[in-house]
Amino acid sequence: MKDFLSDNLRRTELLARLMNGEKLSILDLALEYEVSEVTINRDLKYLRFAGLQIYSRKKILILDHAPETELLTGYLAEYLAFKLNRRLLFTQLQAVHAAGMSDLFQILTLCAKAVDENRRIHFRYERITDDIENEYIVKPLELKLNEYNWSLIAVKEGENIEKLFYLSRIKEIELLKPTQAPEEDLVRQPIFPIVLRFSPMSRNSIYSKIWFQNFQLIEEADGYITLKTESEITKRLASWCLRWEDNIEIISPEELKVKVRTMVEKFNSVNRLF
């Protein structure tokens, strides 16, 4: 496993350096990465097999054309996951094991598999409020790590509300087969067209980041900026809108306005100023 990870990391770095215009030779790379020249040649063969035109001129490696964006995205996703997250996750997981969560391996693995493959899981869960155990069938949406605590965002079967389950409270877990968990049985959250209008004060902030997977920014003559996208109406989206304070106007839909207003009213109900 270590060799597999090392090979993937090295190949991605090699490609990035070639794209960056570095003058690299097979011998230099072998010395730097402490591998044989045969290994570097194998890396080059792997990249060429993927369609990259890499050749040598006076022992200096040259990349003829930049790869397709889709290929680079795949390489980068694997590289960042291995390079940056492995050490961090190892430390976090060590802490959970030290706390005595003996079932962490199978629970976390099966939850991750369910999220990735869009499959439901069945588990027995001990509620925090009263320690009562209940059984649930849920559609996992996202795994979250907060400090050293892992949680699962999921929707219970027959419901459409996202709920949080602490992995430390899951006692037994079963990954359901696709035939047992048809997608059409789940209640789907509707997708709404979202139109938001930002003040000129937000110009630098709104242009500096990618806010949604797909969205359009339209700058108006008066300096205001309209953002158009499509999304479910979630607490996360409502919270994001609130962060802009008076620099945002929700043009549509009304459902998003209601979601934001409800969150504010609930907060105010227990945090009134006297």
pLDDT digits (tens, 9 = 90+) for 258-274: 999 999 998 888 887 76
Nearest Cα residue to 209 out of 234, 233, 243: 243
Edge-to-edge strands, sheet with 149-156: 162-166, 149-156, 133-146, 121-126, 170-175
Banded pLDDT at 60 (limits 50, 70, 90): very high
Angle at 120 between CA 114 and CA 125, to 5 degrees: 95
| Cα 155 from Cα 144, distance rounded (Å) | 15
Q: Please, what is the angle between helix 2-19 and helix 37-49, to 10°?
A: 70
pLDDT digits (tens, 9 = 90+) for 155-168: 998 888 888 999 88
pLDDT score, position 182: 46
Asked whether 80 and 3 are in contact (CB, 8 A), the reply is no
Average pLDDT, the chain: 86
| Cα 169 from Cα 138, distance rounded (Å) | 15
Asked if residue 240 has pLDDT above 50, the reply is yes
pLDDT score, position 80: 82
Take residue 262 and report the two structure tokens written for it. 């409800």
Asked if residue 1 has pLDDT above 70, the reply is no
Provide the 10 A C-beta neighbour count for residue 47.
21
pLDDT score, position 153: 92
Could you give the 3-state DSSP secondary structure of residue 230? Answer: strand
Strands (E), the chain: 54-57, 60-63, 121-126, 133-146, 149-156, 162-166, 170-175, 192-198, 215-219, 225-231, 248-252
Residue 189 CB contacts under 8 Å (≥ 6 apart), including other chains: 160, 232, 233, 234
Mean pLDDT, rounded, for 18-43: 92
Please state whether the peptide bond connecting residue 140 to the residue before it is cis, i.e. omega within 30 degrees of 0.
no
pLDDT digits (tens, 9 = 90+) for 104-141: 888 888 898 898 888 899 999 988 778 789 999 999 99
- What's the predicted TM-score (pTM) here? 0.53
Nearest Cα residue to 169 out of 123, 138, 115, 204: 123
Q: Check residues 91 and 174 and name the one with the higher pLDDT.
A: 174
